[in-house]
Amino acid sequence: MDALSPATRTHCPYCALQCGMELHADAAGTSPLRAAGWDAFQVNRGALCQKGATSTELLNPALRLTAPLLRRTPGAELEPATWDEALDVAAARLTSIAADHGRAAVGVFGGGGLTHEKAYSLGKFARVVLRTPNIDYNGRFCMSAAAAASQRAFGVDRGLPFPLADVAQTDVILLVGSNLADTMPPALRYFTTQRENGGRLIVVDPRRTRTADQADLHLQPVPGTDAALAAGLLHVLIAEHLIDDDFIAARTSGFEEARAEAQRWWPERVEAVCGVPAGDVRAAARMFAGSRGSTGMVLTARGTEQQADGADAVNAWINVALAAGKAGRPYCGYGAITGQGNGQGGREHGQKADQLPGYRKITDPAAREHVAEVWGISPDALPGPGRPAVELLASCGADIRALLVAGSNPVVSAPDAEFVTSRLRELDFLMVSDVVLSETAALADVVFPVTQWAEETGTVTNLEGRVLLRRQAVAPPDGVRSDLDVMGGLAERLGWPGFLTAPAKVFTELALASAGGVADYSGLSHERLDATSEGVGLHWPCPTPDHPGTPRMFLDTFGTPDGLARFVPVACEPAVEEPSVDFPYRLTTGRVLAQYQSGAQTRRVPALNAAEPGPFVQLHPDLAAALAVAEGDPVRVTSRRGTAVAAARISDVIRPDTVFMPFHWAGPGRANVLTRRTTDPVSGMPAFKTAAVRVEAAQ
């Protein structure tokens, strides 16, 4: 592989910070490039976590796929194939299955790490070439609850409607369900600066994480009770006259209904349900309210969102922000901390089951007409809404007979993962495009080796709504092509020649398709993003080529039809799987610093494996003593769905009634064999954070 530039400015392939990095030729020869921080990029200012610093190691051809793989007969091993052979087989199988079972029998499952160009093209490919409604993506597991809540409250879903730098300037932050010290280390500096500036931090988390250690107040609720805890804070704000009546009257609607629900959640009742002392509930509300005119933010992440009432839980926290008047002005507001690298952009431009590009609803006749015109088809030819991710995967082998997977590893990352694995095995045809042979790719009939971040040019949107250009720095290995080339090759064989495969041209069409939508990118292009402020990006909406972008939303009006933010009354009766005699403990899951998502890529990096070599079960010393378990002993965790075994990690940072497992590993320690397919009825978010389990020594 020949480097195209000795120093290329681009962005990290992992989380939604999209840290700026410079890629340099590696004189040591261990990888084609080495990564260094890009000091001028405004989000990370030169800082990289260990994952970002080692990201170039995956460019090594020895660690990844470099030729298509084909299972030539059922039950046979995957074997190398030519691109033409693999594309011909895939197209023939898709044609046959659609003819036998109907077009809706073909499903598409995308990934939140795909660039805009890929995510947009995947949605277009599904709806125009395959003409199936059944497309969704793994971002359903990440941001769907917060997205639904933001749309209900503000009429717009943009993770952070303000720059991350504003965090450092606010008086008080209520951080719910996030351990940034492990998941986004470079972002933690903003919270450190906020406290150095005299600000205060409240953290809500069942575990006393490294992030919670920095808090002025840590609330440690029973997993799955977040909505009730938020209602308790709202109750105190109302009872102690800490609400901002002027803001509520001028800029919101629906307060009386939310007030009526909150009246039922006095602090002592919250303590009985959530396990948070009533005094701490009152202290948190008072701290967040602050003095009249003080600033504040509520920030949520997966801990509160990945629940069976995830959207309601987020709306309950948004109600707290609105009641205190902490929205619609500088250094105030609600934000959702997006997880995956392009989790924001991935849901804006068409790979979500109910959306078209520009964050348009697929059921909106005007949206259908606009996008159909861009695509050169009749609006009537567009299918309707598809099935959200959990339902789509559960339908495999039944209504769904063929599945195309791009950039996702649901065998490890999906809830009730063994059930999902069994459904994938029942498919007539499974096609996977990926950089490595993931656990999901190992089940496929056809596997396409595709380019990764440093080998291609494309765009992403980070957690602030900042649209960025990732620049190609190195040529891909021989035999590796882009996901766009996979779609183009299939489209040609399926009767759609000319499907766009050049990233800049795809983005130009995306911008046109998004014009006038909520997420309007029509003023953007690869050329403009490359040139603007030395490539530091522009925030959407950006509707014209001379528009400066929109770093801060909602300062004058919210995105609802009447311009008012909406309180959403929340009943606070979460549908959790309660502990029982047979399953007396609660399981919650999450991430660790040195691994990422399903681990398909990070588990191939020696330095990351040395830092975090395998799965574990974190349990309180009291629980460990009751089980006669010592540090490092194997522990068996069993839910109603399956069993996982991993080493004990004993710590008083977790509640005695709760155990924690990271979800990055396959094999015996696969945490998601334990989790539930129960979903939030509003957003389709699975209840990853709440499962009843039995815990035993495995010796």
Indicate whether 534 pLDDT > 90. no
Indicate whether 1 pLDDT > 80. no
> What percentage of the chain carries pLDDT values higher than 70?
98
pLDDT for res 520: 97
pLDDT for res 7: 85
pLDDT tens track for 339-378: 888 988 888 998 999 999 999 999 999 999 999 999 999 9
Beta bridge partners of 617: 648
Give the amino acid at 256: E
Q: What are residue 122's phi and psi, to 5 degrees?
A: -65, -45
pLDDT tens track for 127-149: 999 999 999 999 999 889 999 99
Cis bond before residue 541 (omega within 30° of 0):
yes
pLDDT for res 2: 47
DSSP secondary structure, 139-176, as one string: GGGTTHHHHHHHHHHHS---S-SS-GGGGGG-SEEEEE
Given pLDDT bands bounded at 50, 70 and 90, which one contains residue 240? very high
Same domain, 432 and 515: yes
Same domain, 248 and 382: no
Q: What are residue 441's phi and psi, to 5 degrees?
A: -60, -30
Give the amino acid at 100: D
Same domain, 153 and 200: yes
pLDDT for res 575: 61
DSSP secondary structure, 558-623, as one string: -SSTTS-EE--------------SSS-EEEEEE--TT--TT-TTGGG-HHHHHHS-S-EEEE-HHH
> For residue 39, what is the domain's CATH number?
2.20.25.90
For residue 446, tell me if it sits in a domain. yes
For residue 575, tell me if it sits in a domain. no
pLDDT for res 180: 94
DSSP H/E element including 644? strand 643-650
Give the Cβ contact number of residue 436 at 10 Å.
17
Indicate whether 485 pLDDT > 80. yes
For residue 571, tell me if it sits in a domain. no
For residue 275, tell me if it sits in a domain. yes
Lowest mean pLDDT among 5-19, 174-188, 560-574, 680-694: 5-19
**Sheet with 106-110: strands ordered across:** 79-80, 69-70, 446-449, 429-434, 402-406, 106-110, 135-137
Same domain, 535 and 668: no
Given pLDDT bands bounded at 50, 70 and 90, which one contains residue 204? very high
For residue 565, tell me if it sits in a domain. no
CA distance 675 to 662: 12
Indicate whether 393 pLDDT > 70. yes
Question: Regarding predicted confidence, which is higher, 292 or 83?
Answer: 83
Beta bridge partners of 662: 590
Q: Which residue, of 337, 370, 392, is where some domain finishes? A: 337
Question: Regarding predicted confidence, which is higher, 350 or 381?
Answer: 381
Q: What are residue 74's phi and psi, to 5 degrees?
A: -55, 135
For residue 553, tell me if it sits in a domain. no
> For residue 661, what is the domain's CATH number?
2.40.40.20
Name the residue range of residue 42's domain: 7-63
Whose CA is closest to 126, among 328, 323, 387?
387
For residue 547, tell me if it sits in a domain. no
Indicate whether 26 pLDDT > 80. no
DSSP summary character for residue 407 = S
pLDDT for res 30: 65
State how many domains the chain has: 4
Q: Which residue, of 63, 81, 104, is where some domain finishes? A: 63
Give the amino acid at 555: L
Query: How does the average pLDDT of the chain come out, rounded?
Result: 95
pLDDT tens track for 421-430: 999 999 999 9
> For residue 456, what is the domain's CATH number?
3.40.50.740
The first and second tokens of residue 201, run together, are 């931090």
Tell me which residue has tokens 């953290």.
203
Same domain, 130 and 183: no
Q: Which residue, of 337, 352, 367, is where some domain finishes? A: 337
pTM listed for this prediction: 0.96
Same domain, 358 and 404: yes
- Which 3 state secondary structure label does DSSP give 472? coil
Q: What are residue 76's phi and psi, to 5 degrees?
A: -80, 165
pLDDT for res 6: 60
Indicate whether 185 pLDDT > 80. yes
Same domain, 403 and 441: yes
What is the mean predicted confidence (pLDDT) over 629-639?
Answer: 97
pLDDT tens track for 56-65: 999 999 999 9
Same domain, 136 and 148: no
CA distance 112 to 406: 10
